[in-house]
Each structure stands twice: as C-alpha cells, then as structure tokens.
Copies of this chain bind each other. A is one copy, B any other.
Amino acid sequence: MWFGLSGVRTPIILVNFKTYSEATGENALNLAEAAQRACLETGICVGVAPQFADIALISREVEIPVFAQHIDPIKPGSHTGHILPEAAKAAGAIGTLVNHSERRLKLADIDAIVTRAREVNLTTVVCSNNAAVSAAAATLEPDMIAVEPPELIGTGISVSKAKPEVVTSTIERVRKVNEQVVILCGAGITNGDDAAAALKLGTKGVLVASGIVKARNPYKVMLEFAEAMKKVQASRGQNV
C-alpha cells in the first residue's frame, strides 16, 4: 500500500491523533484500522500519527504509514523521558511530525532532527505557522512541510477556505528555496470541500486532527475527504 513518500503519487491525508481520548489506547487502534479501510476503499494515502505509546501496537495491525508526533534530536544515550528516533523506528513508525504548533522546537533542534531522521530513515513532516517559517524550515530539506495557522487549529474554520493566501504564499516562498519538498496544509479542515480546496491551492494533501478524530463517524469523514481529493486529482487527468 505504502511505498515511501517520494513514491506517493496520490494525495495524502495525515491524521494527527494528538492526545485525544478518542485516539488513545484501544481507540487509537480502532481509528487506525478505520483509516486503513478508507485508504483501501479509495486508493488515497491515509497516514496516522498516534501517541508514542500506541505506535507499536498500531504498526503491527495496519499497513498504512504510521508517524510519531515528535522525536528528539538525540542519539542513543542518557536522555530519560525523551523520544529516541531509533525507538520510534523500532516501534514501527515510518516518519514523524516535527515542530507541531503544540510542540514548537528550537531552530537548531529542527535541523538536528531532520538530520537524525534521515540517518534512521524516518520521513519528516515539519509543521510551520506561516509562509516565512515554512520557507525557513524548507531550507533544512525535510521531506514535507505542513503549514497550519495556529489561530485556526481546532476551530473548524479551514485554512484552505478562510486563509487561502497563507497556503499560496507558503507554496510560493517555499518553492524559491526548495523545489522538492512535499507541501501539506492544515488547521480547521473538517469536510471534503476543505480537503479538495487544499489540493486546488497546490498542496499535496492535508494534516488534520479534530476534524476526523472528534467526528461522530471518523471513517465516514475520512472517506469523504478521500473521495473529494480523488475528484480533484481525476479532474486534472493526472496525478497531483
């Protein structure tokens, strides 16, 4: 199903489980399985970013990409209470979020994390709050950038429709310094229209949390997102 991010030819839906009750322990496993069904049903890539403690069990049960929510810029050693990149990898993660708005990092640490992630073969999705920070992050050559205006996160007001200029200016500024990096957007994405709008603005997909995790029926919402994105893709007569 999943063949490495450089090989992903479909749009991407990346579901951040945060520390929601609805996505902890047993619930996390159920949600990951629903994500896999949505992926198999539509052919759109759906990835999940559960809590650290849930990575191992989820990775054993599903084949869709599993991301950590954070890793620390450390090597094996004396770092009690930190997230060793190798440990995330060993548990089954294929990548990691970096610098999420709820876990902002020092610039030098983002650089070190991208380097360490590359060493252990983890895909990096560096989150950013605006176009300027996105471009700064892009110079560090992560695999993906996900721009999310913090003021819209969790609001249900989608960045792709309420602040499209944040997305387009991010794409423009990022492309000046990095032609390769995959660009996602997030914040307030709650329905198929929002997800489709994200693609139309030029991104490769969406980073989404409460819009799916807190939905009455997360599976249906993921399906709706995926179908809407598929239509955008189809209308182009080509892969995005």
> In whole angstroms, how far apart are the Cα atoms of A19 and B99 in the complex?
21
- Cβ–Cβ contact B69 & A97, under 8 A: no
Interface residues on A, range: 35 or more
Q: Please state if B24 and A76 are interface contacts (CB–CB under 8 Å).
A: yes
- Chain B residues near A91: list those with CB within 8 A: 25, 53-54
**Given A25-B87, A51-B84, A87-B51, CB of A210 within 8 Å of CB of B176:** no
Number of copies: 4
Closest partner residue, chain B, to A106 (CB atom): B104
Say which residue of B56, B74, B109, B111 sits within 8 Å of A132 (CB atoms).
B111
- A193 → chain B, closest Cβ, in Å? 23
Q: Are A80 and B107 touching (Cβ within 8 A)?
A: no
The answer to the question of A240 belonging to the interface, with a C-beta cut-off of 8 Å to chain B, is no
Q: A19-B87, A137-B136 are in contact. Are A81 and B102 (CB under 8 A)?
A: yes
CA A65 to CA B219, docked complex, whole Å = 36
* Shortest CB distance A133–B (Å): 5
Residues of A whose CB lies within 8 Å of any CB of B are: 16, 18-21, 24-26, 49, 51-57, 69-70, 74, 76-84, 86-88, 90-91, 97, 99-111, 128-130, 132-133, 135-137, 139-141, 153-154, 173, 176-177, 209-210
